[in-house]
Structure 1
Amino acid sequence: MLTVRERWTGIGGSAVALGAILVFIAAAVLALLLFQPASSGGAIFTSYTWNVLRFTLLQAALSTALATGLAIPVALSLARRPHFFGRIWILRLMALPMGLPVLVVSLGLIAVWGRQGIANDLLLTLGLSEPISIYGLSGILLAHIFFNLPLACRLMVASLERLPGEYWKLAASLRLTPLSLFRFIEWPALRQVLPGIAGLIFMLCATSFTIVLVLGGGPAATTLEVAIYQSLRFDFDPPRAIALSLLQIALTGLVLALLGLVKRAEENGTTLAAPSRRFDGWTGTALVWDVVTIAMAVLFLLLPLLAVFMSGLRADLGRLLTSSAFMQAAATSAAIAVASTLLASFVSICIIKGRLAVTDLRDAGKAGRTYRGLLGASSSLVLLVPPVVLGTGWFLLLRPVGDVSCIAPFLVSIINALMALPFVMRVLEPSMQTHHDRTSRLVAGLGISGVWKLWHIDRPVLLKPALLALSFAMALSLGDLGAVALFGSNDFVTLPWLLYSRLSSYRTADADGLALILGVLCLLLTIAGTFERPTERSGHAAG
């Protein structure tokens, strides 16, 4: 229960936050729609435009099929072996790609699968003369599998682990074969979550930027976002950039609409909540299959990370860390990361408090429910209008006013904050909702408010999820190349842009060293958010 002042403060703050998000995104979209080029000869939607759209859909569809298809056997093996030594570390390893910058992982994939990489050296040793090509469609698919297979696998394992223990007891008593187990128990569980997983991966692959920029290899392997970047950065062809941006918005809007039609997985049936103990997989054949499957997945994920680590150690790290270029880029990246993280956190808290305030209203009605739903959907607007499209719109909007590079740090900070918004809200809202339900009546009855409530009531419960959200948002901003790609220059350099510049100029030793530094920084930030201090653990135990 909220006081009248808290309720209307929450609604008012959320309205301001929502209005700011809508104005920022709408201004970029309107700049695209209303831009009048000096000379608009020729068709905007050319064969090149449709070729880019076709390749975007092709690589996203293939990446989704391969990532989800390969994740199924790995998830089945992990679910069938719930107690083997090291399983928890394998699951943690599968969460690692989400905390690493895409540019860093791309360098690791090049080191493993490139022309002089480990995989091609092995093939040549075996007498095969045709090397694996890391550039073009094959490289893009390989990178998308690296990032999305672990995501799909973790979601599938979670779905399989939710199955009631009675299922496995009944299957053992009926002596079901492995094929029958998959058909009647495992596949129905996977089938419920598969559409949502596939839709999410398709959206991530369709809006992929850095992977395609680094591994695309030329015009034949270009997605919409990379083509937008090239149209403005290299060709300065605003009409083509506008056409591609509108196509990108239409594509992401269609995918989001289709995702909204996917039903969430529901748990049906009655269970006695018996402990889940599996009786299958005791045969030697099943054991060998599971060990080989899990080992190959671990090797696929570990090799690029180890390659980045080993290549980075061979670089002159002391020189890189003390160079003026690194210090300038690090200071710029840190400033942008802090600003975007604080902005994303502030906006998220405003939106969440607004949703809680609307829920607290007894007579909210249809208008209140609509407003609450609109607040919840506001964090996903960056999926509808991706960062490169936002940057393009604001570039066209501000170009007649003056030097865009002067305002670039502020634009990049805002765009990074919008990128982090979905994650920050996903972490904070459940914790704030539960905390509100448990304490609001007691706090209102005791008349506790203000700083005292924030420090003594909210801080002990919400500190850990807040640290997790802040650390991941900062790591995301620190390692992002997409927002800065349009505005990067000699006067505006971030760590990812410096790394990309060194890679583009074939200074691979410096690029390897910078990749190691950037990867370690992002990993430390991610780990810091999940670290629980001993005082917190003892406090929870005492409570």
Structure 2
Amino acid sequence: MNTWRLPGSIAAITILGCLGAALIALLFAAPVPSLKGLLEDAYLHHLIAFSFKQASLSALIAIGLAIPIARALQRRHFLGKTLLLRLSSMTLILPVLVAIFGLMTVYGREGWLAILCHRLGINYSFSPYGLSGILLAHVFFNLPLATRLLLQALQQIPNEQRQLADQLAMQGWNLFKFLECPWLKRQLIPAFVLIFMLCFTSFAIILTLGGGPQATTLELAIFQALSFDYDPGRAALLALIQLCCCSGLLLLSHWLTPIRAHEVSLRQNWQPKVEGVCARIIDSVSLMVLVLLLIPPLIAVIAAGLGTHTLDALKDPALWQAVALSLNIAVAAGALSVSITLMLLWTSREYRRRQQYGWASCLEGSAMIILGVPSIVLATGAFLILNQTIGLGSSPAYLVIIVNTLMALPYASKLLESPMRDLANQYSRLCLALDIRGWQRLRHIELPILRQPLLQAFAFASLMSMGDFGVIALFGSQDFQTLPYYLYQQMGAYRTQQAAVTALLLLLICFLFFILIETLAERDADRKPTEL
């Protein structure tokens, strides 16, 4: 075997081995279901129906609101637009429990909005629990994602088409129907399916804001079967049903995603004219919805965490033990995720250079297949394997690191795939001419140029692990607490002031970590030309 095949082969075998072991454990532990039993299981039907219901409604609301917001962001320039877009990006790495704490502070029964309504003499009847609270949290996380995806689609419209629309005096509904709608359709279905999958496999939001018999999903039922009922067979059966649903959704997304033709615009600076009071009102209201959804919960987290109780809460040794454990797990998972991704893409790129596209697609698919396997399914399989062999042990940190590493692979792969291909196209012939191969090529050519995307992939993978609650909820205990698990325990015990400080600390750590990595990446980008 050629040495260039080894990195990707080892990485792919590791990934598929972990997934295969988890699935085999589930298959052996799951009872053989009878078709009649499945058809007559009313609770199982309710789990599946509610999982699809809340995911469908969340995706529809997010996409429906994102269309006018994306149009407003595309055609309006205002002070703070760049900051608003950056805040929208921050929701992708914002820990779920931090956002939930902020949402509860604003929209809870004793939150800011309830106090305002009480002072105005208005009856405040919104409940942050159940389906309404789940939809609110899902829209908070997914509306910025949908907006960025649809804004990207609108920005791809050639400027010549916009100029022609202006010359034909197309405005309002006609402009949307004949110019913007065809481009938005390319992204609507893929964006809907992506958000649907994210909501379908949501765990921390359902556990915190749902959890009752009427608001339980498959993912939460798996957790309950292991943590409360200790019924591995039931958990395995539910995990397999969840896996089938997610795999079907992933295939549906791939089938419905259209092949986009890349069009180049020759006119770089064409500013569309937006006339009419009605258009201005719609754009202003749309942008205000996004601002009011994003800003108040973040302000609430900061305001609640700062006070006379802050120093007392920061003196708790358990808090800093949770911080240290979270950082160790996040850094380890981020480094492993980037390393495995680099191994996969290195070999995949070599296969493509030799026009062996089938093997290249298999290697790249081994990272993307994880999108169809929820973290709770992997954690359940690992739980069954360890429980029947060596036991869980006192500190399952390695298990949490492995699962978080696998879950971050698809995102790290997307961040590194294009830069590595571009690098190969630019420097492969030069490396062959100078006989620079293997480790020498990686050290002297690849790493200096790829430092920026590598740091960005590392930051994204680490922050995903830092804010993860799905895996740690299954393996966490009083002796093994990450910062999100510690925050959940405080919220569950109604220790509101301590929870506020913990939420603020988690938010600051993620924000500072993200800023640090971005600063290092920008410094490397500025220094890159002199190094080469």
2:472: which partner in 1? Answer: 484
Give per-residue Cα distances to partners, 1:51-79, cap 9 Å, x unaligned: 11110000000001000001111111111
Aligned counterpart in structure 2 of residue 292 of structure 1, from 285, 289, 292:
285
Match of 1:393? 381
Corresponding residue for residue 358 of structure 2: 370
Structure 2: distance between partners of 1:307 and 1:443: 54
Q: Which residue of 1 aligns with 2:149?
A: 155
Within 5 A, what are the aligned runs for 1:233-272? Answer: 233-264=227-258, 266-267=260-261
Structure 1 ranges of 4+ moved more than 6 A? none
Task: Tell me the equivalent position of 1:183.
Answer: 177
Quick one: structure 1 residues 32 and 315, their matched pair in 2 at CA, closer, same or farther if it must change by over 3 Å?
farther
Contact 2:452 2:525 (8 Å CA) reproduced: no
1:66-118 C-alpha deviation (Å, 9 max, x unpaired): 0000111111111121x333222221121111121011101111011110112
1:339 paired residue among 332, 344, 349: 332
- 2:354 maps to a residue whose letter is L
The farther-off stretch of 198-207 and 87-96 is 87-96
Q: 8 Å contact 1:405–1:487 — kept in the other structure?
A: no
The aligned amino acid for 1:426 is K
Q: 1:315 to 1:167 in 2, by over 3 A?
A: farther
Residues 236-292 of structure 1: CA deviation (Å, up to 9, x unaligned) = 1223212211110011011011011113352477x7611352443233332233223
- Greater Cα shift, 443-452 or 351-360: 443-452
* Matching residue within 270, 277, 293 for 2:270: 277
Which residue does 2:526 correspond to in 1? 537
CA contact (8 A) 2:30 2:234 kept: no
Q: C-alpha distance in 1, partners of 2:210/2:337?
A: 31
Structure 2 residue aligned with 1:53: 48
| Per-residue deviation, 1:447 | 2.5
Map 1:129-208 onto structure 2 (within 5 A).
Answer: 129-208=123-202
2:87 to 80, 85, 93: 93
* Alignment CA distance shift 1:36-1:176 (3 Å): closer
TM-score by length of 2: 0.94
Q: Secondary structure at the match of 1:406?
A: coil
SS at match of 2:476: coil
Aligned to 1:416: 404
Deviation digits for residues 291-322 of structure 1 (CA, Å, limit 9, x no counterpart): 23212211211111110111111363333334
How far apart, in 2, do the equivalents of 1:157 and 1:457 lie?
35
Contact 1:209–1:226, Cα closer than 8 Å, also in 2: yes
CA distance in 2, matches of 1:381, 1:406: 31
State how far apart, in whole Å, the 1-side matches of 2:250 and 2:432 are: 40
User: What SS class does the counterpart of residue 394 from structure 2 fall into?
Assistant: helix
- Whether the 8 Å contact between 1:72 and 1:153 is mirrored in structure 2 is yes
In the alignment, which residue of structure 1 is the partner of 2:60? 65
Q: Retained in 2: the 8 A contact 1:469–1:529? A: no
Supply the AA of the counterpart residue of 1:352. L
Give the deviation of 1:147 after TM superposition. Answer: 0.7
Amino acid at match of 2:295: L
Question: CA distance change for structure 1 residues 325 and 118 in 2, over 3 Å: closer, same or farther?
Answer: same
- Mapped to 1, the partners of 2:462 and 2:530 lie a distance apart of 30
CA distance in 2, matches of 1:96, 1:128: 34
| Whole-angstrom distance in 1 between the partners of 2:411 and 2:361 | 17
Unaligned runs of 5+ in 1: none
Structure 1 position 426, deviation (Å): 1.0
What does 1:426-465 correspond to in 2, within 5 Å? 426-449=414-437, 453-465=441-453
| Cα distance change, pair 466–209 in 1 and its aligned pair in 2 (3 A) | same
Task: Give the letter aligned to residue 204 of structure 2.
Answer: T
What is the CA-CA distance between 1:331 and the residue it aligns to? 2.1
- Structure 1: distance between partners of 2:459 and 2:124: 43
Query: 1:330 Cα deviation (Å)?
Result: 1.9
SS of residue paired to 1:176: coil
Change (3 A) 1:303 1:491: same
Please report the RMSD computed on the Cα atoms of aligned residues, expressed in angstroms: 2.3
Q: 1:130 to 1:59 in 2, by over 3 A?
A: same
1:36, distance to aligned residue in structure 2 (A): 6.7
Secondary structure at 1:486 match in 2: helix
Could you tell me whether the CA contact under 8 Å between 1:115 and 1:133 is conserved in 2?
yes
Is the 2:449–2:528 Cα contact (8 Å) retained in structure 1?
Answer: no
Contact 2:68 / 2:282 at 8 angstroms: preserved in 1?
no
Q: Say whether the 8 Å CA contact 1:164–1:276 is kept in structure 2.
A: no
What is residue 523 of structure 1 aligned with on the other side? 511
The alignment of Structure 1 onto Structure 2 pairs a total of residues equal to: 528
Query: C-alpha separation between the residues in 2 aligned to 1:340 and 1:315?
Result: 36
> What amino acid does structure 1 have at the position aligned with 2:123?
S
Deviation at 1:125, TM superposition (A): 3.3
Give the conservation status (yes or no) of the 8 Å contact 1:471–1:528.
no
